[in-house]
Structure 1
């Protein structure tokens, strides 16, 4: 362990660094506990907000089959010089696909 004081992160505002430097050992431990709990809280809030945003976006298209999840996207696959639309989505580590229809020549 070094006898030199630690170097604060460059992105911390000066007033926070000064306040921490003036705090006692007990206060610093309390601050660390609070900061960790606050960071976890803000991360959880961000995840919840993101999931709410995704739920709003994930309205089921009218032509989406019942066995295809709302998160599926449409992709085009070319097979033997023919192009087809497929629903495609991820389930764990696997990408699943379901045939939709051929791509019209004028599309």
Structure 2
């Protein structure tokens, strides 16, 4: 008897069938993309909520001059660096390296 994982009920049957036909390499690429897409959408939602909030906090002391006050801190690996200011400019998400990750923050 061989083991086959049970897909989450929330997944569309057509998507489950298409995934079942893919190679392990393509499934890993798909999983990586799905994780990055989820992070992107969560970040977009946070930035959108912050844009909608009329009571923006004062500019943090450690915020660089070229980073808008609406920027948020995001732990994301880009070019082997983790810990970024991120903000929205039109349809794009901008990032600026802040420094190494501090587990206390």
TM-score when scaled to structure 2?
0.50
TM-score when scaled to structure 1?
0.49
